Amino acid sequence: MRRNEKKERKKSLRGKIILFVGIPVILSYLIVGSVILMIVRNNVSQLTNQQLTSDSKAASRQIENFFQQYMALPGQFSKNVEIQKMMSATGQGQAMEQYAGFSSLYDTMKSMVGKDENILSLWVADVDAKQYVDSKGESAKDFPTSERPWFVQMKERGGMTMTDPYEDFTTKKQVVTMVIPVFRANTSEIIGAVGLDLVLDNLNKSLAAYKLGNTGFYILLSSGGQVIYHPAQENVNKSLTDVDLSDNFKQAATAHTEGLIEYTSGTTQSHGYLSPVGDTGWMVATGLPNAEFYANYHRIVWIWGIVMLVSMVLVLLMILLISSRLAAPIRQLQIAAGEVAEGNLDVMVSVKSQDETGRLAREFERMVAQLRDYRGYIQEITDTLDTMAGGDMRIHLKHEYVGEFAPVKQALLGISDSLSNTLSTIDEISAQVNSGAEQVSSAAQALAAGATQQAASVEELSSMIARIDESARENARNAENTVALYEQSNQKIQSISGGVGVLEGHMREISKSSATIMGITRTIEDIALQTNILALNAAIEAARAGAAGKGFAVVADEVRNLAAKSAEAVKQTAELLAKSNQAVELGASAVDEVAASIQTVIELGNQTNAAVIGMGKSAQEQAEAVNQISEGLSQISAVVQTNAATAEESSASSAELSSQAETLHMEIRKFQLHEQEKASAESSGKWEIER
């Protein structure tokens, strides 16, 4: 059951809306969100890189400003004319202290240094004198000025140079020396140098105080690849090659390449920016671990995820709400359709929307109304068939049959008209049969009357023969009387013969009418068979239609029953007609016998006539003639008796045929036909006249 419910939910409209709308909307959200996140990631990365660039350049500028602040001191002092004069005047083996203006220069150095804790000392070195003197009063003779590394570097650059940091022997502080050449006046000859030993402790403290996010850091590198500052103190004063940094960072720093860089410091993936410190050759690198570099992006992702989750929940709720509202009227239509399928057509659908669902509901109501009309059609058809089964063929269909029921209406009207016409025809034929039977009966009665008259004539002839025996004299007169009587008898016999001929013609007409009736009954039987086939086909179509075709199946069954009753009535009619034909055949046989007897009587009359005529020829022959007449009379008496019996049989057969025709007429009268009143009036009038 649960599986079926799940399948129905999947197949429901709401499930399809969620499947085909909700999922694409969610996928669209995810796709759009992914694109937006990619854009946001790029923008956040760009902004963060810009911040790294800005911070790195700001740090490099501050360091540059720091150095330039102190580079100005040896620069200014190297341009002092007295320094140039002193170094030009001091030769090999001479001391700078011997120069007259040395004390003034020394005081100047001390004043320039002052109390600045960043300056370890300000000093001068003479190439020729090979002497070194600083602001602290320390002096070194035989100082190989021109051989010092900083001098070589300074000479190569032709200007100020700055050494890599080193640890001061006395103070143990990290120190860098800034050296600027002293040129001979108006020449480019380097005769000495002015230097400043700068302590980097405060610079390192400044770098340590710089804030780059929460976990960001700075790295300061000298031009020689020495680490001046690193967040990990153990890496300070190490060579760049000895520090755990990725190769791409080392290569970029060694090549003094400025720009953004992604590198690894230890196990930490970082984003940073390499920026040069002026023209010192030093490099400042920033580093922001990826966790913080993408922190804003991750926060945006979280916020976006929450917003997307809430949005998708809201969208799903809206889809559920909308789908429920869309599915509700369709559900009503489904319930109504189920009621209609169960046979309940009195259903109402309350859908007031103006969209496709509303139009569907209105079309459904139209369909139900049409089904109600069909129900009326079926009920009227059932009542009509019941009426026809009760014998009333005068059907009147009140409904306007449309669609598939239009042929049914035409078929019912056709069946009614056909049966009505057929039964009317049978009624007319039965009336004709009855009339023919009456005529046969009349002819038989006339034949019986003729036989009676013949018997009387025979009696009269017998009397005449007796008188002939009494008096021969009266033979001639009696012969004449006999001839006259013979003429009368011959006329009667001819009349009887004509009546028998008429009777025989009527019998043939009855036989032909019976054959016609048999053909009509076969036609009715064929119509009943076709009606039965149509009813069977209708029952099959109703079975295919299922529950909706139950009513039509009942109609088809009633039509089939009516067809069966029609076939049974036709069968009974055929049996009655068969009996009538048998009776007609018997009557025809009797008529033939009567005709033969009459012919015999005619022949005997002729013989009698010859005998009577011969009475005048010879008296002797009179006795023989009388005997012959007696024999003839005997034969006539037998023939008359036969005629009488035949007439009685013909009368009885005619009465039976008339009775059967009347029975058929009464059976037909049980049906109420379209022209019943007219046919009944005419038939009743004829019936009474015939009776």
- 110-124, 256-270, 272-286, 584-598: least confidently modelled range: 584-598
Q: What is the CATH number of the domain that holds 632?
A: 1.10.287.950
Are 192 and 145 spatial neighbours (Cβ–Cβ below 8 Å)?
yes
Among the listed residues 537, 523, 565, 548, the one whose alpha carbon sits nearest the alpha carbon of residue 411 = 537
The beta-strand segments (E) located in 279-400 are: 282-289
Residues near 117 by Cβ (< 8 Å), separated by ≥ 6? 199, 202
Q: Residue 169: give its domain's CATH number.
A: 3.30.450.20
Sheet (strand 227-229) strand order: 227-229, 217-221, 282-289, 268-277, 259-265
Least confident of 217-221, 347-351, 586-590, 658-662: 347-351
Is 616 among the domain residues?
A: yes
The mean pLDDT of 557-579, rounded to a whole number, is 76
List the single range of 22-31, 113-122, 214-223 with lowest mean pLDDT: 22-31
Q: How far apart are CA 217 and CA 285, in angstroms?
A: 8
Is residue 659 in a domain?
A: yes
Q: Is residue 280 part of a domain?
A: no
Range with top average pLDDT, 132-141, 509-518, 660-669: 132-141
Whether the Cβ atoms of residue 252 and residue 261 lie closer than 8 Å to each other? yes
List beta partners, residue 126. 131, 192
Residue where one domain finishes, among candidates 203, 229, 244 = 203
Is residue 149 one of the residues assigned to a domain?
yes
* 262 domain-assigned: no
**Given 177, 203, 229, which residue is the final one in a domain?**
203
Task: Write down the residue that tokens 């970082």 correspond to.
Answer: 270
543 vs 35, more confident: 35
| Residue-wise DSSP of 20-43 | IIIHHHHHHHHHHHHHHHHHHHHH
Domain count, the chain: 2
How many other β-carbons are positioned within 10 Å of the β-carbon of residue 654? Answer: 27
Residue 345, domain member (yes or no):
no
681, part of any domain: yes
Span 655-668, pLDDT tens digits: 777 777 777 767 76
User: Contact, 656 vs 436, CB < 8 A?
Assistant: no
Residue 685 has pLDDT above 60, yes or no: no
Residue in 530, 526, 682, 500 with CA at minimum distance from that of residue 597 = 500
Instruction: Return the pLDDT at 673.
Output: 63
Q: Is 10 exposed, middle or buried (0-12, 13-18, 19+ CB in 10 A)?
A: exposed
Chosen domain end from 152, 174, 203: 203
- Please indicate, yes or no, if residue 319 is contained in any of the structural domains: no
Contact residues for 577 (Cβ-Cβ < 8 A; gap 6+): 514, 517, 518, 521
| Range of the structural domain that residue 651 is part of | 409-690
Summary mean pLDDT of the chain: 77
Could you tell me the sign of the dihedral formed by the alpha carbons of 57, 63, 65, 71, in that order? negative
Sign of the dihedral through C-alpha 424, 428, 429, 430: positive
H or E segment at 121?
A: strand 119-126
pLDDT in tens, 145-194: 889 989 998 898 888 888 888 888 888 888 999 999 999 888 888 999 99
- The SS3 call for residue 104 is helix
